[in-house]
Chain A
Amino acid sequence: MKALLFLLPVGILVLLILLFWKGLYLNPSQVPSPLIGKPVPQFSLPGVGGTSASLTSADFKGHVSILNVWATWCIPCRDEQPELEKLAQQKVVTIYGLNYKDDADSAVQWLQSRGNPYAKDGYDPKGKVALNFGVYGVPETFVVDSYGIIRHKYIGPLTASLISTQLIPLVHELQQVSK
Chain B
Amino acid sequence: MNDVAIIGVGLHPFGRFDKTAMEMGAEAINLALDDAGVQWKDMQFAVGGSFEVSNPDAITRLVGLTGIEFTNVQNACATSAAAIKGTADAIASGQYDIGIAVGMDKHPRGAFGGEPDKLGLPRWYGESGLFLTTKFFGMKAHKYIHDHGISPRTLARVAAKNFRNGERNPLAFRRKPISEDEILESPMLNKPLTQYMFCAPDEGAGAVIMCRGDMAARFTSNPIWLKASEIRTRSYGAYEVHATCAPIMDGVSPTVHASKAAFEKAGISPADVGVIQLQDTDAGAEIIHMAEAGFCADGDQEKLLADGATEIDGSMPVNTDGGLIANGEPIGASGMRQVHEIVRQLRGQGGDRQIPGKPTAGFAQVYGAPGTAAATVLTT
The yes or no verdict on A and B being binding partners is no
